[in-house]
């Protein structure tokens, strides 16, 4: 039912245009003696324009065909037939199609331009807001170190940790922006090789502070054989999953991360309790730039999980988010398409 309502909302303009065509035809037929054929022709192009501005070329062609059929049958001599004795009327039918086609193309270009502008605005927000936060942290910590010669080693170490953590955040953000651009273009070739998930997880953990890893994370990894995949992208997958869990998990709660060996596929599971949980909208968390409401105080671009989805799809896998126990469980299944031969 929900899918039907969604499709209806997406295409209800076609039904409106059909209703408009019927009303126009009825009015024209009632007043055909006082209306000139040119005026009747002009108002019959209105439903074509209504559909064309939505950029749907197939719907535009169908509406053009219906308008021409109604016009030809009811108003073009000889009436109540599909014969046309004057070639000028034939040209008017072609004009219908040309006008609809031009408007459709322009509408498509406008929609593409609008999406590009939205993308630019989102990227500008990331650069101006999300990069500013770690930069400010780095700048502030360095100023404290340079301006205070009496800092003891413990305080210096803590400030160095802050600088390191902020630089890692910047690195992850920039990597995500670049990966998002590459993955969105569709022109990406997987660099397939034998990958060790234990090594991948180890490299991913280096992207976070030791405090986060020790205090928050519970890891369980089954005994796995080598996996045939893109090592760099799979590492980014784990990094983004952990980054999302760290940012949105409740204080004083654990994050549970598992990689399970299920013979024909590998299952990756990560669970964190969170205050930001909207069960109705959880399916949208893999959409680019999507973020839950009331999360403006948490740094992030909304592209991390979208990148995860793209990486999983490139490896012929599936990813889903499940609300569970006041938190979010993200499950990934990666099929094992090739098994390593053990000598």
**What's the pLDDT tens digit per position in 190-213?**
888 999 999 999 999 888 877 666
Domain ranges of the chain: 1-85, 125-185, 193-335
**What's the pLDDT tens digit per position in 231-245?**
989 999 999 999 888
| CATH architecture of residue range(s) 125-185 | Orthogonal Bundle (1.10)
Q: Which residues of 313-340 are buried (b: 16+ CB within 10 A; e: fewer)?
A: ebbebebeeeeeeebbebbbbbebeeee
Residue position matching structure tokens 């999953």: 241
CATH 3.40.50.300 fits 193-335, yes or no: no
pTM (2 d.p.): 0.58
**What's the pLDDT tens digit per position in 148-194?**
878 888 888 888 888 887 787 777 777 766 766 667 666 677 888 99
Number of alpha carbons in the 13 Å side-chain half-sphere of residue 150: 0
Q: Do domains 125-185 and 193-335 have the same CATH topology?
A: no
């Amino acid at each position: 039912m929900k899918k039907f309502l969604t499709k209806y909302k997406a295409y209800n303009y076609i039904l409106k245009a059909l209703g408009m065509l019927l009303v126009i035809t009825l009015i024209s037929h009632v007043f055909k003696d006082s209306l000139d054929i040119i005026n009747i022709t002009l108002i019959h192009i209105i439903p074509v324009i209504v559909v064309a501005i939505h950029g749907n070329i197939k719907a535009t062609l169908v509406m053009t065909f219906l308008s021409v059929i109604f016009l030809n049958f009811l108003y073009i001599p000889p009436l109540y037939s599909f014969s046309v004795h004057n070639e000028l009327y034939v040209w008017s039918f072609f004009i219908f199609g040309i006008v609809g086609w031009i408007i459709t193309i322009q509408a498509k270009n406008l929609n593409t331009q609008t999406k590009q502008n939205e993308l630019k605005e989102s990227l500008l927000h990331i650069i101006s807001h999300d990069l500013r936060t770690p930069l400010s942290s780095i700048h502030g910590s360095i100023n404290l170190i340079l301006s205070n010669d009496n800092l003891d080693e413990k305080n210096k170490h803590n400030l160095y940790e802050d600088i390191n953590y902020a630089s890692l955040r910047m690195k992850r953000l920039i990597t995500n922006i670049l990966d998002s651009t590459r993955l969105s273009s569709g022109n990406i070739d997987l660099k397939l090789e034998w990958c060790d998930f234990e090594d991948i997880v180890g490299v991913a953990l280096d992207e976070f502070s030791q405090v986060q890893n020790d205090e928050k994370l519970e890891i369980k990894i089954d005994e796995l054989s080598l996996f045939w995949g893109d090592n760099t992208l799979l590492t980014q997958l784990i990094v983004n999953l952990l980054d999302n869990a760290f940012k949105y998990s409740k204080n004083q709660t654990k994050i549970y991360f598992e990689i399970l060996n299920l013979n024909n596929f590998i299952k990756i599971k990560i669970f964190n309790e969170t205050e930001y949980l909207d069960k109705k909208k959880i399916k949208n968390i893999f959409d680019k730039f999507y973020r839950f409401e009331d999360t403006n105080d948490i740094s992030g671009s909304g592209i991390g999980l979208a990148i995860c989805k793209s990486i999983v799809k490139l490896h012929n896998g599936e990813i889903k988010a499940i609300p569970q126990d006041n938190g979010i469980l993200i499950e990934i299944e990666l099929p094992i398409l090739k098994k390593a031969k053990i000598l």
